[in-house]
Amino acid sequence: MPFLRWSPSGQLCVLFVFAVLVPAWLMGVAQDQPANPAANPGNTAERTTTPAAPVPHSSPGTAEAGSDMSLDSSLRLGIGDLLEMSVYNVPELATKTRIGNNGDVYLPLIDYVHVAGLTSEEAQALIEKRFSDGGFLKDPHVTVFVDVYASQGASVLGEVAKPGVYPVLGQQRLFGLISAAGGLTEKAGRSITVTHRNQPDKPLTVPLARNLTDNPESDIEVFPGDTVMVRRAGIVYVVGDVGRPSGFLMDTENLTVLKVMALAGGANRTAKLSGTRIIRKGSNGLTETRVQLKKMLEAKAPDVPMQADDILFVPSSSRKVLAGRTLEAATQAATAVSIVAIRP
């Protein structure tokens, strides 16, 4: 047949048909297919959409960083912790309660539940079971949030601005805990006693400088249940016939008789230097020791170190102190003098 005759021009025509018309036809077929394969009934890998799970009620502040929540969930509940419980879709059951001394909390409908020693997730599961087993709720979803970890805190006592119990969540160090308590007072001493909960009979004495950053080696780790005691600096009193009878804090240096005499403004001209004595409180009561103040001032006798709570008494030469009344007079005077902090 004439129209099947092969010729060079026919070959070009066939090539034109396959090169132009066939791709166009394939594109048209592709456009007819649904854009989403899931809409095709013949597609066995059909996509399913799961509705978002409802979010249980949470108190303000619970939607913090995930690290905080995971940290809370790893801690054990204890006596004194303040809990906030909520039940999804039942706002009437939302409540705040504190764990009692017996480890129980009181909750609506289900009465007392023992939660001490559990994690927050374990407490949630137990409370859900109580609601379900009691026939109060079907498939309850409970959230337990810890407002205050009283059982996970450390006590900071003594010479800090705000003594109290402060939370120890995660790794906590001594200086951070002191800062949380408002820092040291002006009367803080040069050492801190840290008693770990698991070693109550082995308290640690940590040296301390006025500037906390000067003692990085003293910044030890503190754990829940520990007690931090910032002791008051020792006081040395200077009373009697001196320029400025006062008490001086021993927080930055070791004090001697000559040093405290200088701080007290020196002896008055009417002072009886030979009668100067140190009054010291010991296990057997008060004792007095004479010191050679006149020879010390003349560099003819060695200086004498003072101890905390010592009283340096400088009598007056014009005053006749009756025997047996020296201790009483000096101690009464020491209680009335002002306390002066020695600062570098």
How far is 72 from 58, CA to CA, in rounded Å? 14
- Residue 187 is predicted with a pLDDT of 85
Structural domains of the chain, count: 3
Give the domain CATH number at 288: 3.10.560.10
Q: Which of 130, 148, 166 is where one domain is finished?
A: 148
- On whether both 90 and 169 belong to a single domain, the answer is no
- On whether both 239 and 325 belong to a single domain, the answer is yes
- On whether both 254 and 318 belong to a single domain, the answer is yes
Kindly state whether residue 70 falls inside one of the protein's structural domains. Answer: yes
The residues with which 97 forms a beta bridge, in sequence order, are: 83
How far is 303 from 295, CA to CA, in rounded Å? 9
- Residue 34 is predicted with a pLDDT of 44
Kindly state whether residue 16 falls inside one of the protein's structural domains. Answer: no
- Residue 291 is predicted with a pLDDT of 92
How many Cα atoms within 13 Å fall on the side-chain side of residue 115? 37
- On whether both 313 and 330 belong to a single domain, the answer is yes
Q: Which of 148, 171, 199 is where one domain is finished?
A: 148
pLDDT values of the chain reduced to their tens digit, one per residue, 344 residues: 444 444 444 444 444 444 444 444 444 444 444 444 444 433 333 333 333 333 233 333 323 323 333 344 567 888 888 899 999 999 999 999 999 989 999 999 999 999 999 999 999 999 999 999 999 999 999 999 988 777 778 889 999 999 988 888 777 899 999 999 999 888 888 889 999 988 888 999 988 765 666 777 888 999 888 999 998 888 899 999 999 999 888 865 678 999 999 999 999 999 999 999 999 988 888 898 999 999 999 999 999 999 888 999 999 986 544 444 555 556 555 554 555 554 43
Q: What would the two tokens of residue 208 be?
A: 């301390």
How far is 49 from 173, CA to CA, in rounded Å? 48
C-alpha distance across the termini of the chain, in Å: 121
Query: What Rg value do the Cα atoms of the chain yield, rounded?
Result: 41
287, 288, 289, 290: CA torsion to nearest 10: -170
Report the DSSP pairing between strands 204-207 and 235-240: unpaired
Give the domain CATH number at 123: 3.30.1950.10
What is the sign of the dihedral through the CA atoms of 185, 190, 196 and 199? negative
Q: What would the two tokens of residue 98 be?
A: 């504190």
Kindly state whether residue 54 falls inside one of the protein's structural domains. Answer: no
- Residue 143 is predicted with a pLDDT of 95
- On whether both 169 and 89 belong to a single domain, the answer is no
- On whether both 243 and 260 belong to a single domain, the answer is yes
- Residue 157 is predicted with a pLDDT of 94
- On whether both 241 and 332 belong to a single domain, the answer is yes
Full domain range(s) for residue 250:
235-341
Residue type, 197: R
Q: Which of 202, 232, 262 is where one domain is finished?
A: 232
- Residue 299 is predicted with a pLDDT of 92
- Residue 213 is predicted with a pLDDT of 67
- On whether both 328 and 242 belong to a single domain, the answer is yes
Residues 6+ apart with CB under 8 A from 273: 267, 293, 294, 297, 314
Kindly list the distances between the CA atom of residue 103 and the CA atoms of 81, 100, 116, in Å, as whole numbers in the listed order. 10, 5, 5
